Chain A
């Protein structure tokens, strides 16, 4: 089984996770730029973060046989902090990089005017750079947030079928599907979706344009949720082709819209004994 986790924050995860993910079948990940739990106070710390998503993190992933790409953006939460908004001006120099396969995570957190502005600006940047957009839908007041998101996407220069609406659930999937966007579901312990609810949604709405992710990060989360959904799908009677569509071909098709997906992780020579990660304390 081959698995593509289209939304996981590996910067916050350990090499044990990479090892377990590989063993579970994960061969590719996309790491969206998001907030770090702790507020950042200047654009420079975003740039160091973006540089890590384009440098050290893909190197780490490659050592475990996993292809790593990223999405770059000013996230909705920090779009509200005037100390961080100048990041928007520097995004173009990141959006041309190999390895950047979408603009994201963008979208709404609290639905403020500052978030309106950042979302509109970044959808325009996606259109200008030939990139799709990965849009986070809010956790609070979710359906209103989804509707407002779809409206802003429709008014933007970016075609709706180049947008992934993420963190969907039973209350938002219908309208999201009708919009023509790609449909993302984050399967998380305790919050967001779980495996069985995910299977029920796949049953009702079909696997077309559906992407399932673990959204694993620094919170209580599980980087193997993608595999657990695949197993739950098989148990519920989906065939292997449907599993491959949801867990591999759909994310490849969506991020492939960038023309920048390279799924052959070229692991550097040093793999075991001299591994520079194993010698992390050096």
Chain B
């Protein structure tokens, strides 16, 4: 999460003012949740942030809105499920800050990991996934990154979780063999992760 000052530096005056208003609305909702029908005003800001703030700042601004509104599990789930790819990405990036338990947050991560949209896959393998995915799901997430060309730099706690993981090493070795048999290059990231497992390359 980048500091607000750094985010402001990427924005023009009008965009900064727009974000200020949006955050004030989010803070207001955090104190007095909207009940019944109707959408909280900050959610409209969340949806329209791209056209007001531009691509450089939109991920961070949306994460900030989610944190400021202190969204609960049902709200985070609804915003993810009804979101565009860009909005879903923001929910995934915000997960470590929202205090959602695994029952609420892991299904969102799993949904994103089923996607082939690399923006979603990259956002799904952050610190929340590192903390909450079980070994099987986490190994498949790493492999998914290799398959879809998402840099494993995106995988949080890669060093810690890969260390001593013999099953991950086996999966990587099998994948390398499959690539070699097809006369295709083995991604550099595969060697990197394999080294982190501590296994010898065969």
Residues B119 and A268 in contact, CB atoms below 8 Å apart: yes
Kindly supply a per-residue 1/0 record for chain B positions 64-102, scoring 1 wherever the CB is within 8 Å of any chain A CB and 0 otherwise.
000000000000000000101111100000000000000
Given A96-B47, A98-B84, also A266-B55 (CB < 8 A):
yes
Chain A: interface residue total (CB-CB under 8 A): 28
Residues B55 and A264 in contact, CB atoms below 8 Å apart: yes
**Interface residue? B117 (CB, 8 A):** yes
Residues B84 and A97 in contact, CB atoms below 8 Å apart: yes
Kindly supply a per-residue 1/0 record for chain B positions 43-72, scoring 1 wherever the CB is within 8 Å of any chain A CB and 0 otherwise.
010011111000100000000000000000
In the complex, chain B residues 126-157 whose Cβ is within 8 Å of any chain A Cβ: 146-151
Chain B contacts for A51, CB-based, 8 A: 84
Residues B86 and A274 in contact, CB atoms below 8 Å apart: no
Rounded to whole Å, the gap between the CB of B141 and the closest CB of chain A is 14
Residues A55 and B117 in contact, CB atoms below 8 Å apart: yes
Chain A contacts for B202, CB-based, 8 A: none
In the complex, chain A residues 250-265 whose Cβ is within 8 Å of any chain B Cβ: 259-260, 262, 264
**Interface residue? B107 (CB, 8 A):** no
Rounded to whole Å, the gap between the CB of A274 and the closest CB of chain B is 2
Chain B contacts for A276, CB-based, 8 A: 116-118, 121, 147-149
Give A259 to B50 CA distance when docked, in angstroms. 11
CB-nearest residue of chain A to B48: A96
Q: Please report the number of residue pairs spanning A and B whose Cβ atoms sit closer than 8 angstroms.
A: 81
Rounded to whole Å, the gap between the CB of B187 and the closest CB of chain A is 7
Kindly supply a per-residue 1/0 record for chain B positions 26-51, scoring 1 wherever the CB is within 8 Å of any chain A CB and 0 otherwise.
00000000000001000010011111
Rounded to whole Å, the gap between the CB of A11 and the closest CB of chain B is 15
Among A55, A56, A279, A282, residue most surrounded by chain B Cβ atoms (within 10 Å): A55
Give A3 to B156 CA distance when docked, in angstroms. 41
Residues B187 and A274 in contact, CB atoms below 8 Å apart: yes
Give A99 to B47 CA distance when docked, in angstroms. 10
Among A51, A99, A262, A276, residue most surrounded by chain B Cβ atoms (within 10 Å): A276
**Interface residue? B185 (CB, 8 A):** yes
A-side interface residues toward B, CB under 8 Å? 51, 54-56, 58-59, 93, 96-99, 259-260, 262, 264, 266, 268-271, 273-277, 279-280, 282
B-side interface residues toward A, CB under 8 Å? 39, 44, 47-51, 55, 82, 84-88, 115-119, 121, 146-151, 185, 187
**What are 9 contact pairs spanning A and B, CB under 8 A?**
A96-B44, A97-B48, A98-B48, A268-B119, A269-B118, A269-B149, A269-B151, A270-B149, A274-B187
| Given A259-B51, A277-B116, A282-B148: 10 more A-B contacts, CB < 8 Å | A51-B84, A56-B85, A97-B47, A98-B48, A262-B50, A269-B118, A269-B149, A276-B147, A279-B147, A282-B147
